[in-house]
Structure 1
Amino acid sequence: MAALPLAPGSTVGILGGGQLGRMLALAAARLGFDVAVLERQADSPAGRVAMKLIVGAYEDEAALEELAQLTDVVTYEFENVPAKSVEWLVTRGVEVAPGPKALAVAQDRVAEKTFLNANGAPTVAFAEADTPEAAVAAVAQIGAPALMKTRREGYDGKGQRWVEHAADAARVFAELGSVPVIVEARADFVRELSIIAARGRDGGTAVYPLAENHHEKGILRRSIAPAKAPKALQDRAERISARVLSGLEYVGVIGIELFELRDGTLLVNEIAPRVHNTGHWTMDGCEVDQFEQHIRAVAGWSLGPTHPTHQVEMLNLLGEEALAWRRFAAEPETRVHLYGKREAKPGRKMGHINRVKPL
């Protein structure tokens, strides 16, 4: 097991080679670390900026062994890496952060909401279902309209459907693949917020200002941060983040998506045990961004300051929108972040821009 804190020149391993892995690798390089990436594709955004790319399935024990031999600590860029892969690394003495508990909770929506409620982080009412009949009963219990989601996987609006009437529940259950689901009550929220928080190996925490988020067709379109919010609301979000981080015995950066109700109540929509799309604004709006913060945490360094330096509007560039890079680059207030993906597909996140202005 590597001695912590890791000294510059150590190697950080990343499971996953997408854009989040790429930005983590770039942040690690700034701090003097080398990076090894395990990714299924030979040509990936993170792989092209890493010291070493291991091409293989996340469950491939030979690939995992190579990663273990190369690295001093391993992290992951998304929560759907197989939990067994993380467990395999941990049982062989590899330091993995965030740990298996965070991954297990985040990979199952029922486990996630059960954990949140048990740790003082309120959510909408929910029920689980494994059969068409149970799905009908769950919607009848929660009340229609209700949101039905697959318990596992699914992101950017995938793996979920609205159920307008309990009688439709069996059909929607089948449309989602007849797999175990969670049925969630509708949240009567006024806006969607998120908070990015970090916890170090010493238990210390660092929390960023709230971001206000706007989605289109289930995909994040833009974030505005720091969000216009009274101190009481920020404090409420920070208390939620503290309970989540402590309950998970967490190390690293976490994204927590929130619903703000009319009376100022905050409900947790979901958690993501990783750096998060709604935290991209920190790259140009904070003293230390979420990617550097995550590397600091997993490497055992002290956490950096989260004070905002600018007001930021972050816009995701989807599909061919990224082809307008020349125009964006000519805007004095705009910072361009492209992910190096080869093919622009509709709805695919190709990059983002941060438009900055003084606070």
Structure 2
Amino acid sequence: MESKVVGLLGGGQLGRMFLEAANRLNIKVNVLDAPNAPAKQISNHDGHFDGSFKDPEAVKKLSKTCDVVTVEIEHVNTQVLEEISGEVAVEPSWKTIRTIQDKYAQKEHLQKHNVATAESLPLESNTVEELEKVGQKLGLPFMLKSRTEAYDGRGNYPVKSSSDFEGALKALGQKPLYAEKWANFKMELAVMVVKGKDQVLAYPAVETIHEDSICKLVYAPARNVPSSITKKAQELAKKAVSCFWGKGVFGVEMFLNQDDSLLINEIAPRPHNSGHYTIEACPMSQYEAHLRAILDLHLDEEGVQPYRPSVMLNILGGASPQSAAEVAKKATEQSTALRVHMYAKGDARPGRKMGHITVLGSSMAKAEGLMKPMIDVVDEVRRSRTDIPAPSSGSSEPKTKQTKALVSILMGSYSDMPVLDAGVQILEKLGITYETHITSAHRTPEWMGEYVASAAPSGIKVIIAAAGGAAHLPGMAASHTYIPVIGVPVKPTIGDGTDSLLSICNMPRGIPVATVGINNSTNAALLAARILGVAEDEIAESIRDYAEGNRKEVMEKEAKMQQLGWKGAMQEWHAKK
């Protein structure tokens, strides 16, 4: 391997993980940042520089010791990067960093290259009158954003009505601003893209959950998103990155809208919080990928393919200076499957990124189960903070939606509960979590459609729907989701239930509904368990135990019949009746 020296502007947590990857490849990295910065602490050599990565003279001194200069953060002095680019490689290009620094210029550049992004308008002046003009063009609500020096939600302000105008201007100060059309998204996705000398590779599309405008959780791959959409997200991310100059890793954040369309939100010209999971989950971490890209080392598709599903949880500072260390301690005590990364930042400050935890699972449900106790821990840390205003009862801010339930049981009326009780008992016996709801395809069609459409994103894997009479509930549920729906025909007060059975099983092509016998919620629950068991080893084992129990019960009765004979067995049966 050719021994080249990399100069890194910034030595925070991203730089720290970057140097960990560089150390394994025996690549020397000279860091420009404050003394004892997190990245410097794991790379002990005399090539580091103390100072600001925005200081032109310090950057010039660093560049003279390197073959290529790269960045840990995009808020750097691009004028000096342009100046030194004639003597040393700057990756990604100073033109890319300068364009991305100005978020409105970034959006203009993407739109120029036909990359889908939200409609945006620059403010000519930071006045209420200007916001009124913007509101007339974009409509309300809209998002007001700082064009520069904004990150982790800082520099963003949701403008929901004209009453927010003055508050928004006061919060964002006199920075240059732009307004962005409100995106009616149902999920935030992110894709890490690697741009090399002659190829562009994409890691999987991941789901990101934000809290207080800071990334809290990353699910890789994105949960309950069809492969057709995740592939489109990867292609959109690659198209977006391809229109910029230079090499390296780029973090591409995007919105998945209610109509399944995709819009680019923002791009980072560097490794990104949403890509931390790649350290454990992929053959090549985003940090190694960045090194390989800027140094023209070998890259291939195998490196960006994940081993197993994973969940990444950020550790943020709480009310206590030791809060992050306490979270890390609990993680190490809980399970060796939890991989803890601490950033060596000293005492925790409220909301400061202090570390992260990653866990891999044989399935996403397994990974979620392993991470759930730690989510509870960081939630408790957040509740202890006094710098976060308590949400009002009417708050419309998005909340992290989580559920332990894997199966949703729907019924058209209260009277269907006795029919479904046998199935509920099966789920409980197998240790499968569930939730129950009463909704009607005819009396509450809007609520039924809204709930079913949100079931998959919240973690539901299978729906059991019971209905009698015309029995439209299972079919209507299936038309609002792509996860399996199992219909249970219910015997009505008039008739034998055959009409309900036929109504459910005679669904049109393209909208399948699995159908069990009349009132047979036992089979519905067992079928749901078998569907889940394909991906969940623990559930599959429970099903095998259940089947073995049935086998033993039959063999015990066979032995008793042989012992008592026909007449003796019949006498015992009548006695029990």
Report the CA distance shift for 1:277/1:141 in structure 2 as closer, same or farther (over 3 A).
Answer: same
8 Å Cα contact 1:286-1:306 kept in structure 2 = yes
Structure 2: distance between partners of 1:207 and 1:33? 24
Percent identical: 35
Q: Secondary structure at the match of 2:240?
A: helix
- Superposition pairs of residues 78-97 of structure 1, within 5 angstroms: 78-91=73-86, 93-97=87-91
Give the letter for the 1:216 counterpart: E
Provide, for residues 216-241 of structure 1, a one-character-per-residue CA deviation record: whole Å limited to 9, x for no partner.
00000000001133221122112212
The secondary structure found in structure 2 opposite 1:179 is coil
- 3-state SS of paired residue (1:67): helix
Q: How does 1:232-243 map to 2 (within 5 A)?
A: 232-243=228-239
Task: Pick from 63, 68, 84 the counterpart of residue 73 of structure 1.
Answer: 68
Once the two structures are overlaid, the 10-residue window that deviates more, 203-212 or 53-62, is 53-62
Instruction: Give the Cα separation in 2 of the matches to 1:27 and 1:233.
Output: 31
2:109 counterpart of 1:115? yes
Please show how residues 1-359 of structure 1 align to structure 2 within 5 Å: 7-39=1-33, 41-50=34-43, 51=45, 52-91=47-86, 93-131=87-125, 132=127, 133-166=129-162, 168-201=164-197, 203-228=198-223, 229-304=225-300, 305-319=303-317, 320-330=323-333, 331-359=335-363
Would you say the 8 A contact 1:135–1:170 is kept in 2? no
180-189 vs 226-235, which deviates more?
A: 226-235
Change (3 A) 1:43 1:26: same
Deviation at 1:89, TM superposition (A): 2.0
Normalising by structure 2, report the TM-score: 0.59
Q: What is aligned with 1:4? A: none
Separation in structure 2 between the aligned mates of residue 323 and residue 341 of structure 1, nearest angstrom: 14
* Distance (whole Å) between structure 2 residues aligned to residue 62 and residue 260 of structure 1: 43
Letter in 1 for 2:257: L
Note if contact 1:173-1:179 (Cα within 8 Å) is conserved in structure 2: no
Give the CA deviation at 1:176. Answer: 1.0
Matched with 1:3 is none
Deviation per residue, 1:138-183 (Å, 9 max, x gap) = 1221111111111111111111211122354255224311222111
Question: Which has a greater percent of helix?
Answer: 2
CA distance in 1, matches of 2:263, 2:342: 32
| Deviation readout 1:50-86 (Å, 9 max, x if unpaired) | 3332112234343223211211111101111121232
For residues 211-268 of structure 1, what are the alpha-carbon distances to aligned partners after superposition, in whole Å with 9 as ceiling and x for unaligned? 1010000000000001133221122112212222221133111011011012211111
After superposition, the CA RMSD in angstroms is: 1.6
CA contact (8 A) 2:55 2:77 kept: no
Higher mean displacement: 325-334 or 295-304: 325-334
CA distance in 2, matches of 1:263, 1:172: 29
User: 2:315–2:327: 8 Å Cα contact kept in structure 1?
Assistant: no
TM-score by length of 1: 0.93
Report 1 or 2 for greater relative contact order, CA contacts < 8 Å, sequence distance ≥ 6: 1
SS of residue paired to 1:70:
coil
CA distance in 1, matches of 2:326, 2:84: 40
Equivalent pair of 2:205/2:234 in contact (CA under 8 Å): no
Gaps of 5+ in 2: 318-322, 364-577
Aligned counterparts of 2:123 and 2:88: Cα–Cα separation in 1: 36
1:116 Cα deviation after fit: 1.4
Q: Distance in 1 between matches of 2:52 and 2:66?
A: 18
- Residues 75-133 of structure 1: CA distance to partner in whole angstroms, max 9, x if unpaired? 10111112123212213x11010111211221111111111122222112211103113
Higher strand share: 1
Q: Which amino acid aligns with 1:255?
A: G
C-alpha distance in 1, partners of 2:133/2:166? 10
The 2-side partners of 1:164 and 1:264 are apart by 24
**Matched position secondary structure for 1:350:** strand
Is the contact between residue 59 and residue 84 of structure 1 (CA under 8 Å) also seen in structure 2?
A: no
Tell me the secondary structure at the aligned position of residue 328 of structure 2.
Answer: helix
Quick one: which amino acid aligns to residue 286 of structure 1?
Answer: C
TM-superposed deviation, 1:349: 0.5
